[in-house]
Amino acid sequence: MAKIVEALVDAGQASPGPPLGPALGPLGVNIKAVIEEINKQTQQFKGMKVPVSIEVDDNRNFTISVGIPPTSSLLISEAGIAKGSGSPKTEKAGNLEFKQVIKVAKMKQDAMLSFNLRSAVKEVVGTCTSIGLTVDGEEPKLILKSIDAGAYDDFFK
């Protein structure tokens, strides 16, 4: 019966230390090969935390599934900042253009509860609020109202 190990790793920089090494060791799989494969598959998300799932079968063969980083990590990467704001209501950490928000929404849409791109974008804009990012120089709550009013309809065509 296959065993599954799930972890959140630094993309392109996974190591045999915790959390992977201790979880994989008892399964008898080649840890070095697993780490190399994870780093290869997560290279595109370098600098972000990425969820990975490693399935190890009875013959010690492994399959790796890489998830999409959390929305907040994608937004922080798009904004080019080190981290979100410690007090997002009063201090802003950065600004995004609306097209960057759409890019993140498209990346995450399959993992969201959204039925369409418009609602996915609204979810992403909501995340901007919690990490202290503005969108097009405006507060995210104002952007949400503008989306509802149809100001950004051209982006959804």
- Domains of the chain are 3-66 (3.30.1550.10), 71-156 (1.10.10.250)
Q: What is the pLDDT of residue 138?
A: 94
CA distance 29 to 56: 7
Q: 34 or 156: which carries more pLDDT confidence? A: 34
Structure tokens at 25: 């060791």
Can you read off the two tokens belonging to residue 150? 């149809």
pLDDT for the residue 126: 94
Report d(CA 51, CA 10) in Å as an integer: 9
83-135 per-position pLDDT tens digit:
888 888 889 999 999 999 999 999 888 888 888 999 999 999 999 999 999 99
Run of H or E residues at 151: none
Q: How far apart are CA 148 and CA 34, in angstroms?
A: 46
pLDDT at site 1: 76
48 secondary structure, DSSP code: S
State residue 44's pLDDT score.
83
Q: 156 phi and psi, to 5 degrees? A: -100, 5
Query: What are the pLDDT digits (tens) for 28-83?
Result: 899 999 999 999 999 888 878 889 999 999 899 999 999 888 899 899 988 999 88
Instruction: Kindly state the tokens that stand for 18.
Output: 């915790």
